[in-house]
Each structure stands twice: as structure tokens, then as C-alpha cells.
Chains A and B, each alone.
Chain A
Amino acid sequence: MDHKTRVYENVFEMMPSEENPTPLVRINRLNPNLEFSLYAKLEWMNPFGSVKDRAAWALLRDLEERGELGNGRSLVEPTSGNTGISLAALARARGHRLLAIVPNKVPHEKKVLLKIAGAELEIVSDELCPAPGLGDGSINLAKTYAKAQSHKYVMPNQYENEKNVEAHVKTTGPEIWNQTKGRITHLFTSLGTCGTVTGIARFLRGENSKIKIIAVQPTEGHDVPGLRNVSQLQVSKLFDPSLIDDILEIDFNLAYTRALELCQNEGLLAGPSSGLILEGALQIAARDQRGFGVMIFPDNVFKYTTNMTKHIPALEPQETKATI
């Protein structure tokens, strides 16, 4: 393994670490705040295309080390896509299988990608009518498999597993600290399982307790895959509000328009959750005026063409009709 020449013996050696961090790229044309620099951490540069590679790798290795996999026992996990893609690809490359329980709202592209990555899919109608106690259909179905058929399935449970947090304490946090040479003043990230925000915040606060942790979330009723509104966070046991300074609620439509701006002005082909985070970072930069911000850009736009055209109809390619 040589990170300089980037020659590897297998894909696992490419997983991110302090020695092999994902890139940090400055936002230039979209940030008018001269005294507040903003850097995007491009998590789509991970081997399987998203920030979830980190948690998936940690969850999988933990199960392997504890002897929970093999002898016909597979993984079962509820996922809105990215964890499943990472987990399926990693698992198959290690000789395991994954049954991914996927909410029907997940974009078509992600469902196909999950199958391409080697997951078996079970699609459930989720969030029929959110209510207390209803839980989450995909989480409950995965729990059912793990409980009723424990000889066949084990559930890593990214929503409750401390290994999800640990992955970011060990990799993302130190990477950011090294890459910014300790100059970071603000961290901007979204909320999903909350492993990312809790893990990075825990590490950075250990280095400098003054670093502001800003969580950005879409307004209720959103369709930004992988993200959760605060009202939906009760399913995530990894949510630790004591580590978060501000939670910004941002109109979810801006996730799509800001993502397009990143694509067309910065050369960063960022997905909608990155667009949402950029909007939050710009609001805080305008408020705080001075700082050094790092934004976690979870994945790129390639999986979201359907959602992008839904929110920005002008992206729909129009065929030129010949007049005869």
C-alpha cells in the first residue's frame, strides 16, 4: 500500500484514514464572505462514493472480529442507500451478503445501485403517516429479520451502533484537524444517523472546545435521501444535542438549487445534501463574519438525477422536434 503512488493490493487499503484523507477543497465563487473561508470535504472520493464508507467499514469489521458473520449468516440493514451501497460492496468483496431494507421513497438510481453493489433488496412503504410510536418501517422490518431469523441475519444497526460514531472519531475528525492545521472554527454537517456529527464533534471538541458544530437539516416533508428532520431523529440513538451549537432548518428545495450552483460554479458535482449544507454554511458565514469552516459533502450528484429534475424542471432534456 502506497498512498503516494496510489497503488493498492485491494480496495480495503483505499479506505480513508489520517494518511489517506478525502480532499478538502475551498469554495471560491459561491462564497462572498472574504473573512470566512469555506472548505468542502469531498466524501464522494471514498472508494464507494460517500461518507458512509467510513461507518460501513467500521460496522463490518466489528462484526467480523466478533465472529458474527459467515456460516450462512448475512447482514440485514435498513438503509436509504449510501450505507447499503458501501456495506453491500464491502461485504461482497469480503465474501458476505447483505439484505438491504429500503424505504420506497429512495430514488430509483440508488435502488439499482444497491443491486449492482450486490445487495438483495426488500422495499417497504415507509412513513405512511408519521406518528408517535410508529417507528420506522424499514428499521422495524430489519429488526424483525435479525430477531426472528438470527441464525441467518445479523443487523449492524447504524442508528444505534457506537462503531458508527467511532469511525468518525478515528478517521474524519483527525483528517480535518490535520488538513486545516487546527485552524477550523466551524464544522457544517447534516443529520442522518448522526454518527458523522457526533463522531467528528467528539474528536474536534477534544482538540479545541471552541469549535462550533453546526447541523443543517431539511424542512419537514422533505425528499432529501439520507437526511432527517429533527422531528424524525427519535430513531437515532447517536444524536447527542450537547455537541451541537446550532441546528439550522433549511427549505429543502434549496438543497437542489444550491447543489446545481456547486456543479455549475465550483466544478464540484455535489449532491443535494451538500447543497443544503452549503446554504447553512453561507448563512452562518454571513452571521459570524470571520471563520474557517469545513463542510462535510456526503456524496455527489450522480445518484440524484431524478430528484434534481423533479425540483429543477429546466434540467429535463428537451428533444428538438422537427417541423415538417
Chain B
Amino acid sequence: MTTNHYEHPEVLVETDWVKQNLGKPGIRLVEVDVDTKAYEAGHIPGAVGFNWQSQLQDQVRRDIVSKQEFERLMSEAGISPSDTVILYGDNNNWFAAYGFWLFKLYGHKDVRLMNGGRVKWLNEADKELTPDKPKITPTKYRVSEPDFSLRALLPEVLKAQSDRRHNLVDVRGPDEYTGKVIAPPGMTETAQRGGHIPGAKSIPWSTAINPDGTFRSADDLRKIYFSNGGVDPGKDTISYCRIGERSSHTWVVLKYLLGLPNVKNYDGSWTEYGSIVGVPIEK
């Protein structure tokens, strides 16, 4: 477990902790990647791999995976509601953080992120990888207490924009915030217009991490978000990015590492907001 003076250090585990707890009953590892080839090439022994596009999202309409699909995914991965689930992935845990948000949304009690993600594990000499998929004993997972208060939908975002009583945190890169680009080069998910939600503060997700991919200390994060970024810890907060994965990363920082009481992830993010007719946009 990580301390670093976070408000909820229990949501992070270090790579060494994962190594020491490999194969222990009740501990399940899940790799969630942007590029799922990485899991096929090699993963932490015992980890199952989730494809964020085909397994964590509805395959017909634009939405998160339904409660029934989430239950099926967990059951097929051999996960029980009482398990401690450790998520990790590439790109500094972007989609692992998205997965973490989804697990919390569907009420899984004990879910944690491996600090530093797959790159940290890969570059540590004493950590093993395997291409072998684990043997799974399916379970009958049931969601008991979903918590949809962790998610912001468009009407709430529009209200927050007009009321100006929320912290709106835009975690995209500076060029996306100013509207110079609508999406990072090569990204297929895009919007009709560039810019940002009026009143949103620009605090790129990457400011929250150290060069080795781990999260910065609580003191650093307080400076970045409160002193320099202008986030008011007394207000409710909504984070957004382009498709909701980088904002999940910042959501973890604000809600768990800094302990803000009410933080929501707007997973519709810029690809939704930047395509709506008539909504206010700032550049």
C-alpha cells in the first residue's frame, strides 16, 4: 500500500506489494490497455486482460457497459464481489483508471490501482511477465450497490457550466483546451468544434505524475490543483477530457488522493460536449 500522505492511500498499491501478493486468494489482477496487444505479448502472472473498447463499453449505443454486462464480465473473469481487484495498464494507467471508476460505479468494494502501471513493472528487473493466460473459475458476480453519483451526464455539466458553482477541470493537453486541435494527432474519436467548457480550468492529467509514471505526492498535488490550478476544495467538482479516460485518472487524484468530497467523471467529455448544437464554448 502507498502512503505519501494521500487522503485515501488504500486505493494505490506499489509494484513490490503486487509481487509479494501474487497468487494469494482473494487478490485479482486486471490489465486494462489502450493497446491490447501488450497484454497478449506479456502480462503480470495471473492477470486477466480487459479490452476497454469491446468489454468496458456498450457495443451498440455510446455508454458504459450495462450492469448485466459488467456482471457477466466479472463472472467470466472469475472475480467475486469480495475480491481485492488490482488494476493496471499502459499509458500511465489511463484505462486502468477508467476501469477503476467503472468498478466503483458498480459498487465493487475493494478496487485499487497499481502505482506506475505496466511500464513501471516492465522496467523493474525483479518483476516477471508471462504470455500465459490464467486459468479462470467463473463466478456468479452480482452488483449490489451501484453508485451513479460518481458520473456526470450532460444536463448536469450544462447546469454546472451555467451556475458556475462547480470546479470544472479540463484535463486534456493545452492545444486541445485552446481549440488548436480537437483531438491529439491520430485519434479517431473527435468532436465538431474545438475549445473548452466556459469556466473550466486547464490542468492536464500528466501534471499529476512523476517521470516514472507514479502519482506525485499529496503536497505536490495540492499545489498543482489547489494553489496553481484554481480548484476550490470546498466546491463540487467535475473532470472531463476527450472520451473520459484521462479524466478518470484525474478523478482518482481528486477524489481519493486529495479527498475532495464530491467529484464526478464526465465520461461523455469533449466528444459529446463539443458536438452539441448551441452549447457555450470558449477558446
Contacts and interface: CB of A to CB of B under 8 A. Distances in A.
Given A143-B122, A144-B38, A132 B209 contact: yes
A141 B212 contact: no
Interface string A102-114: 0011000000000
A134 B42 contact: no
Given A105-B186, A128-B184, A133-B92, A147 B122 contact: yes
A9 to B, nearest CB: 39
Contact of A140 (B119, B184, B185, B205): B119
B144 interface: no
Contacts of B210: 132-133
A125 interface: yes
A273 B225 CA distance: 41
A221 B175 CA distance: 12
Nearest to B204: A131
B129 A131 contact: no
A32 interface: no
B186 A128 contact: yes
A25 interface: no
Contacts of A129: 91, 173, 184, 206, 246
Interface in A121-161: 122, 124-125, 128-129, 131-135, 137, 140-141, 143-145, 147-149
A105 to B, nearest CB: 7
Nearest to A143: B122
Contacts of B128: 147
A99 to B, nearest CB: 10
Contacts of B173: 129
Contacts of B122: 140, 143-144, 147
Interface in B110-149: 116, 118-119, 122-123, 128-131
A124 B35 contact: yes
Contacts of B91: 128-129, 134
Contact of A145 (B35, B41, B123): B41
Given A134-B91, A134-B92, A128 B34 contact: yes
Contacts of A135: 119, 213
B34 A125 contact: yes
Interface in B172-221: 173, 184-187, 205-206, 209-214
A137 B92 CA distance: 11
A288 to B, nearest CB: 37
Contacts of B186: 104-105, 125, 128
Given A122-B37, A143-B123, A144-B122, A131 B42 contact: no
Contacts, number: 77
Given A104-B186, A148-B42, A137 B90 contact: yes
B37 to A, nearest CB: 7
Interface size class of A (residues with CB under 8 A): 20 to 34
Given A125-B35, A125-B186, A143-B123, A133 B41 contact: no
Contacts of A144: 38, 41-42, 122, 129
A187 B126 CA distance: 42
Given A128-B91, A147-B42, A141 B209 contact: no
Interface in B5-52: 34-35, 37-38, 41-43
A133 B209 contact: yes
Contacts of B214: 133
A141 B90 CA distance: 10
Contacts of B187: 128
B206 A145 contact: no
19 contacts: A124-B37, A125-B34, A125-B186, A128-B34, A128-B91, A128-B184, A128-B186, A129-B184, A129-B246, A131-B209, A132-B213, A133-B212, A137-B35, A140-B90, A140-B119, A144-B41, A147-B42, A147-B122, A148-B42
Given A128-B186, A132-B210, A134-B119, 16 more contacts: A105-B186, A124-B37, A128-B34, A132-B206, A133-B92, A133-B212, A133-B214, A135-B119, A143-B122, A144-B42, A144-B129, A145-B41, A147-B128, A148-B41, A148-B131, A149-B41
